[in-house]
Amino acid sequence: MGTASDAALQRRTVGRGVRWVTHGPLTARHVADSRTRTEQAFREGGVARKFSSVGVIGLGTMGAGIVEVFARKGVDVVAVEVDEAALERARASITGSTDRAVAREKLSEAERDALLGRIRFVVGLAELSGVDLVVEAVPEQLELKRKIFAELDEVCRPDTILATNTSSLSVTEISVATRRPNQVVGMHFFNPAPIMKLVEIVKTVVTDETVVTDVEALCESLGKVDVTINDRAGFIANALLFGYLNHAVALYEANYVSREDLDAAMRLGCGLPMGPLALMDLIGLDTAYEILDTMYRRGGRDRRHAPVPLIKQMVTAGLLGRKSGRGFYTYEKPGSPKAIPDAATPAPVSAGDGATVRTVGVVGSGTMASGIVEVFARAGYDVIAVARAADKAAKLRDKMTASLTKGVVRGKLSEADRDAALGRVTWSAELERLADVDLVVEAVVEELIVKKALFASLDEICKPGVVLATTTSSLPVIECAMATGRPADVVGLHFFNPAPVMGLVEVVRTIRTSPEVVATATGVCQAIGKQAVVCADRAGFVVNALLFPYLNDAVKMLEASYATADDIDYAMKLGCAYPMGPFQLLDVVGLDVSLAIQQTLYLELREPGFAPAPLLEQLVTAGYLGRKVGRGFRDYR
């Protein structure tokens, strides 16, 4: 395992090409270096193969983007569709996409015209006889792909490389439909192809090494970053992504959380570029269904990949996502990225919701408590902050003062605003001071016995009608509720760390929480500038329930030696635009914390696929807890 800080690059020559082996997180330097690899291959005597014309078959969601990738880099493209109508749609899609690039000043008009001039749109495979490479991007069906590859074998020159963009099918099975399986390779682009940097290059046991190195050099000349891997269902990124997407659809299907809240949770809670349902719409539900189905059958029949029934129902109903104009969301028109309001769009939070709350009590003296006090005080609420003892209350005050002062130094806050926020807080060691507040937020230690005792005390102290909230991230909110004689007034308010920065709060309703209390909690979140996501009281709520199994799966993939931690991190960052790869994130969150959350999920849901990865358990036992101790998956010392 390399260190995160040195990000050293070693170079290894394989066959005629040059391959960089990277250690540590990907930096701008890696990307820049990768661009020059093809030139280096020439300089060092290797003859990187020149691809001056390529064919792309199937110009749907992926194929149209792949055509654009090649044409932008000066490669002539024969763009193949099944009939004239499909060809017309593809032409419109590529023109629309390049027009948008011109409007965003990413492309000049002359560049757009030259790009479009390099594309020849045709029906049928006959015109592929002269190309150097074919990339197939037809629907994810094995027999269709095998048929096309058998025909390509007849049509194309003997030295033409045949690549499939399949997401989950066996490249090996596709390759043996030809008489040149050694020249067949997977080139798995990511959606949208012109934007996403990653290409997974999939080699089979018979793919020639020179074919692999030539395709690697080609990807680099296209400005892409490649990872080369063996032929396994879902490769790296989809193997980690699709379990998560399917799980998200299951939560939505079970009415556990609304579509907007589900997507907002993952965007704001994890910094993902889009939520899972919006991503399903972008991928296409028919394609997603086929990928899941194949992964279920090829990938060890993991129940988490068995497509959730709702997906099949939506496909049957023609709700395929953006491409058909409707999927989980409704779009302006087929193919449009713009979602428009529909019957399922929630009403905005009413202005009156939360207005009854003027004073807030916060109990606890840790990081979350001080962050939450700051959030409410800055939003103009009078706050009573209660710690266990006077010295802890004083420390809490110092912590919040330091945090606000940092805001002043960074120019995010004026001195007057800092002083006003501090002036709104009363620091105390007496719980009785909470008798008259309108909302109590509890942020004490994550131990059920302590929280239950606290809620029993709050029940005795607080006036009737007060909203009592817990910030627990893993305990059942209903346990806190039932420690009081007023369970309808108890709700979860799960803030994220650091509370002043993170824009999300999960509002957890138990089976006893009243709708009025949920509305008040949601209104208060709006008033403090946070996005409320309402969900039911189940282990992990939304964010942790979806995030940690994915992280655990990444550890299992590493443990199985399918790919390195670096390649897995790159795949998720460059293929899915995640802000961090799974191993970077695990080291930041802490391996002990991650293991505890995964254990909670496993124990509550009893899903065999959620069993913590043995490697994660071993690292925790060994004391490799992540950045906080200087060593986790990577060494930071």
Q: Which stretch binds ligand NAD (CB under 6 A): 45-53, 56-64, 473-481, 494-502?
A: 56-64
Q: Which residue type, as a one-letter code, is found at position 96? A: G
Which residue has the closest beta carbon to ligand NAD? 60
Helix (H) or strand (E) holding 304: none
Catalytic-labelled residue, pool 93, 97, 140, 188? 188
Q: What is the DSSP letter of 48?
A: P
Helix (H, G, I), strand (E, B) or coil at 623: coil
Token code pair at residue 277? 């349902």
Chain residues 253-292 in contact with ligand NAD, contact rule CB under 6 A: 283-284, 287, 291
Q: How far apart are alpha carbons 598 and 454 in whole angstroms?
A: 26
Concerning whether 238 is annotated as a catalytic residue, the answer is yes
- Cβ-proximal residues to 85 (8 Å cutoff; 6+ apart), any chain: none
Is 200 assigned a catalytic role?
A: yes
Helix or strand (DSSP H, E) at 617: helix 614-621
Q: Which entry of 191, 238, 403, 473 is annotated as an active-site residue?
A: 238
d(CA 549, CA 597): 9
Residue 196 touching ligand NAD (CB under 6 A): no
Which of these is catalytic: 34, 97, 167, 324?
167
CA atoms within 13 A on the CB side of 160: 25
Site string for ligand NAD, 517-556 (x = CB under 6 A): ----------------------------------------
Of 136-144, 382-390, 418-426, 443-451, which segment contacts ligand NAD by CB under 6 A? Answer: 136-144
Look up residue 633 and give its DSSP letter: S
188 is catalytic: yes
Which residue from 61, 204, 213, 564 is in contact with ligand NAD, where contact means CB under 6 A?
61
- At how many degrees (to 10) do helices 582-589 and 591-605 cross? 100
Pick the catalytic residue from 136, 200, 216, 442: 200
Q: Shortest approach of ligand NAD to residue 67 CB, angstroms?
A: 11
Token pair in block for residue 73: 């880099």
| 291/478 with CB nearer ligand NAD | 291
Residue 182 annotated as catalytic: no
Query: Smallest distance, Å, CB 275 to ligand NAD?
Result: 15
Which range, of 182-190, 349-357, 547-555, 617-625, touches ligand NAD by CB under 6 A?
182-190
* Residues between 66 and 105 with contacts to ligand NAD, criterion CB under 6 A: 80-82, 86
Helix (H, G, I), strand (E, B) or coil at 192: coil
Cβ(382)–Cβ(358) under 8 Å?
Answer: yes
The pair of three-digit structure tokens given for residue 318, joined into one six-digit string = 């023609």
Q: How many angstroms separate the first and last alpha carbons of the chain?
A: 13
Q: CB–CB of 186/201 below 8 Å?
A: yes
Contact assessment for residue 32 and residue 17, using Cβ atoms and an 8 Å cutoff = no
User: Residue 101, SS3?
Assistant: helix
Of 185-193, 324-332, 494-502, 513-521, which segment contacts ligand NAD by CB under 6 A? Answer: 185-193
- Of positions 62, 187, 477, 576, contacts ligand NAD by CB under 6 A: 62
**Across-strand partners of 467?**
439
Least Å from the CB of residue 283 to ligand NAD: 4
Of residues 164 and 359, the one with the C-beta less far from ligand NAD: 164
In the list 26, 56, 57, 461, the residue contacting ligand NAD (rule: CB under 6 A) is: 57
Query: In the range 150-169, which residues lie near ligand NAD by CB under 6 A?
Result: 165-167
How many residues contact ligand NAD, by CB under 6 A? Answer: 28
188 has which bridge partners? 200
Q: Which residues contact ligand NAD by CB under 6 A?
A: 57-63, 80-82, 86, 137-140, 148, 165-167, 188-191, 283-284, 287, 291, 323
Active site residues per annotation: 167, 188, 200, 238
